Structure 1
Amino acid sequence: MILTVTPNPSLDRTYEVHALKRGEVIRAETERVDPGGKGVNVSRAVTAAGRRAVAVLPLGGAPGALVADLLDAQGIEVAPVPIAGATRSNIALVEADGTLTKINAPGPELSAAEQELLLETVREQSPDADWIACCGSLPRGLAPSWYADVVTRAHAGGARIALDTSGRALLEALRARPDVVKPNAEELAEAVGRPLATVGDAVKAAEELRRWGARTVLASLGADGQLLVDDAGTWFGTARVDAVRSNVGAGDSSLAGFLVAGGSGPEALASALAHGAAAVRLPGSVMPAPADLDPAAVSVTADVPVDRVLEEAAS
């Protein structure tokens, strides 16, 4: 079982439009409503891969009730933490060329009692977990050190923990030595405080995060591929994608692919790449099933192209 923790979940509405024109009335071609939040997406991807997932998340108001219903309909076990505020609603606009525009609401503020109940729910659900995946931004009320506390408690209970967050929350959590951190290129650049222009720059940044406490770094470089840096070595991988339909949740699907494949080594990196590539070929935040994967399109090597210039340099 993979336990996911999403402190700031959402109800996500995704609209596909031909083109986004500011100041005009735009008619959507399709509309999807999905349970959202990075950890929620990991749960959905794990379930789509045929594994058991349990989602811990604070839920409140009508949007929260709908998120719970949608997850239940997808066969995902929900361990809800009732809160007084309403779960946030986010909007994603996907243009015909794959360009994604997102509007993310800030979310409710959690009281001290709700924060403690969230931690206690994680503790109650963690004994059966192969991995605990803590993902996304922190809602108002939670200190930047909150993820560090979760990592410390998880390790005390013998669990492995994967962390996908950014900014100060990531830096604070590193001191607790999470088993895996999964930054994208922008988050990696922000963490080390310098721009990343090449794959080699990303490798050095990942190594720096490991010196600060991360045991493994799985770094997404967007269209350029992914890096895996751990005690055993460094690997670089790419996945061919002929057409991008939606990037929503692709990174979360990638983390799920990494974890369901064991969470270490080049085989897990290949699984992460296959899941991420499959996700971008699907509409909205639909998570890929095994039939959607194309392992033949994935390439992983220990011969890292350190001089390769990133298509989208991170600063």
Structure 2
Amino acid sequence: MTNKSSGFGSVLKKLEQGSKGGGPNVTKYLDDGESIVVRVLDASNTAFPYRAHSDHTTKIPPHTCHQEKGEKEDLYDKAAKVLIDEAVSHLDPKIKNFDDQSEEAKENYKRVRKESNRFEAKNRVKFGFINLKDGQPVIIDLAEKFAKQLILGFEKHEDKIDRNAFEITKTGVEANTTYGLERVLLDELSEEQKKHWDASEGKTFDKSLIDNTHFYRDEEQQLKDLVTMGFDVSRINLEAPEGVTAAPQEDVQQEVTQEAETVSVEESDVAAEEAMRAVEEFQMENDAESEPA
């Protein structure tokens, strides 16, 4: 029976707050137009949020942030912090409202924050299901934007989750991707699918399978990534590996510009709120430094 008291809604909340936190890899990545019919074993043990680094502009795939395994920070985090501090340095700490900052300050802040965003960890969700095609566990790993599409769909059917299968369909590619969710009645399942449904009765999803799919890049590879992404690693007291160079800046700039064109009004509002918080933090740090010991 599904536990409805702590299901997908709690995952949405965790996504907003940000999550803190090897064996067989059963992750499935759907192609455009591909579908999969699954069983949700338990709404409270199906969606697992985590944070990962990636970079679309240099084709670096998602890899789990080292903070997920209890480390303070990885090299990506260090690079992001340096750039965030640089962005904040363009703002006047005496001006609390971001909109009241000078146009030059706001533009410089946005420019550097756009760059820092490439290094910051982003929310993702791993979903654990039973694949009714073969009866085996399957994991669907999605970026936050797409994960929310599934979560909202599951929430709509939350009172029927333990009595229905679901068909997940991917449509489109890259920025135009969407994930659809359709409820499948038990009498609509094929004989093979119904057999796997019955065999999974009373089971829960093995979370160790989720843990096994987390991939952590070692520091050597992270260092190469930062250089490839165009970050000056001397800013975090490291040297660039021999033979590793930054991707052509014209290619990177084109990708960044294309991504920027897809930013929503809501994301712009969030950026402004972050800027105001950053000014306040910057001011508090300055005030603390000026106080006598």
Higher helix share: 2
TM (normalized to structure 1)?
Answer: 0.22
TM (normalized to structure 2)?
Answer: 0.23
Q: Which has the higher contact order (CA 8 A, sep 6+)?
A: 2
Higher strand share: 1
